[in-house]
Amino acid sequence: MARRYEHSNNSSQMREVLQQGQISEGGHRERDHSSKDRSSQASCCSSSSSPSSSSSSSAQGGAGDRRAGPGGRGGQRAQGTSSCSRSVQLNFSRTHTVLIDVSVFNLAVGIIPQEGRDMWNSNFVKMPCSPSSVMTTKVGLMKQNTQVCRWDVISKQLKALASKKEVSVDEVEKAVIKYNPKYKGQWTFDALSAFVKCIPKEENYFPTLFPKIAALALRLPEQMKKAIPLLQTGHTAAITLSQVQISCLLANAFFCTFPHRNTSAPNTEYHGYPTINFSSLFGNWSKRKKEKLRAIMHYFNVVTDEKDKPKGLVTFERRCLRDEDMPHWRSCKDKMAKLRVALHGSIETDGKGMLQVDFASSWIGGGVLGSGLVQEEILFLINPELIVSRLFTERLADNECLIITGSQQFSSYSGFGDSFEWAGPYEDYLERDDWARLRRQILAIDALNFKHVREQYSMVKVTRELNKAFCGFKGHGHNEPDIATGKWGCGAFNGDPQLKALIQLMAAARARRALAYFTFGDRKLERELQQIYQLLVDEGITVEQLFRHLEDYCAVQQAHGFTHVDLFEFITNTVRPSRSQL
């Protein structure tokens, strides 16, 4: 996600260009000079497979029983309160856990939590309200160390906060430290405190909001009756939760209640998972933290309001590209996919209805709970429901991606990095599919981080990036949406914009999906990418041929030492002579 610009290509325009002939079957573009920002709401086809048929229609069972295929389809808005059953049933399968009652949902009666049981082992999220979660505290006149149920301590503190009309940051800190005594003196709340103090009185609703967040966190046992499986490395699997369940989980993250999640040291149980408790967001005041907290607090202000409470579902799907599904890039005969290059606009705004690429960290969410404020962190701040993925998503491997379907955008923003600012509430008018998910799909794929720019000019690295992009772009059904992307890995990770653009174009060609590429105001890249794409189309270049050109380019780049060779110029000079000799 780059800086906000006045944009000229909205999602409906972009789709028309890609799918309805402004780029012909041969790939020839008709340039669109329109500068109007037409507002239109686009529907998005799910990129997941069709729902699996279940072996049982029962919605009852213990942990691990309630499964569903993640790709529910249907064009009508699903509110969850209709008097008739749904046209596309929410089913379950062995690889998709659904944490709401499927039978009740399919009857369109409402959304209620699925019954189940607590699981305290390495395959599930260890919950704050689990009877197995204990802590040592001093009790009695002799102040003897005694093990007590940690949730008893948590609920006592949160109930005290929830019972008040207003709560100060000091009271929040004292409550959190009460059940996290190990971190007394280590965790600071200066950022949260400075934030509350610096907001003008007429906008400062936070002291009255803290009790509401505490009350929401206390609902955890009633909302999460069934264990949440971990999305582990090497396994394709998915989880569907209600937006209310997500809000409850995030309220607990706000009050730092999740056990065994306060350190990521190599020898700890959750060393392969991102942090989830908000302690790192509350300390080390900065302007960035101020703007992050404005977005987070606005989210909680909405979800704690009964009349504005979200009423849908969200699916989190980890996909693992199997060895047998890895493309043979040196023998891939696919020609270039349709491409639309946009100078202005943004992925999340103009890519509505498309599969929107999150330029992710392998640790989902990156530095969203710290100081990071680039594309992924901004995406997670304006769609805070994405943050819950950090609770159960293990670090992504080279052949894996995460797709989130149905998250809601709550905030508008401007800027990027140090210039990022929360720009107020966002009204999300996207329609919902038959699974009551907003028609928004976000694809998290992590690019390689090159400490030195020259490291990327290796076919081992190029192939890794091709496989990573293909893992996310690969279709799993019919009528797959187009892909909205941009300068993936080209900021702090030092990726070459030209190379990364061709890698994504090749992956999209193999996946047979059209690509909308946002240059975020980079006029030079826009012009050059259009020119090289037209050359590749005119010359009928296949993925196989382009891969071989990249092999030659990497060899030349390495031979030139520290002198940079322009990739697009190299390919132009290579392709045109070979054509003239025919």
Q: Alpha-carbon distance 299 to 388, whole Å?
A: 13
Q: Alpha-carbon distance 507 to 465, whole Å?
A: 9
Residue 348 is a catalytic residue: no
Residue among 101, 171, 173, 358 flagged as catalytic: 358
Q: Is 122 exposed, middle or buried (0-12, 13-18, 19+ CB in 10 A)?
A: exposed
Q: How many alpha carbons lie under 13 Å from residue 364 in its C-beta half-sphere?
A: 31
- Tell me 262's DSSP state: S
Residue among 65, 171, 173, 376 flagged as catalytic: 376
Residue among 118, 171, 350, 377 flagged as catalytic: 377
Tokens of 109: 């009666």
Residue 376 is a catalytic residue: yes
Q: Alpha-carbon distance 248 to 228, whole Å?
A: 13
Closest CA relative to residue 315, chosen from 260, 372, 246:
246
Closest CA relative to residue 169, chosen from 183, 143, 190:
190
Q: Alpha-carbon distance 68 to 61, whole Å?
A: 14
Asked whether 362 and 328 are in contact (CB, 8 A), the reply is no
- Give me Rg for the CA atoms of the chain: 25
Position 574, amino acid: T
- Describe the crossing of helices 543-559 and 459-473 by its angle, rounded to 10 degrees: 150
Q: Alpha-carbon distance 180 to 174, whole Å?
A: 10
Residue 377 is a catalytic residue: yes
Sign of the alpha-carbon torsion through 433, 435, 436, 439: negative
- Looking up tokens 């009271």 gives 171
Q: Alpha-carbon distance 88 to 108, whole Å?
A: 11
Position 376, amino acid: E
Q: Alpha-carbon distance 242 to 102, whole Å?
A: 12
Residues designated as active site: 358, 376-377
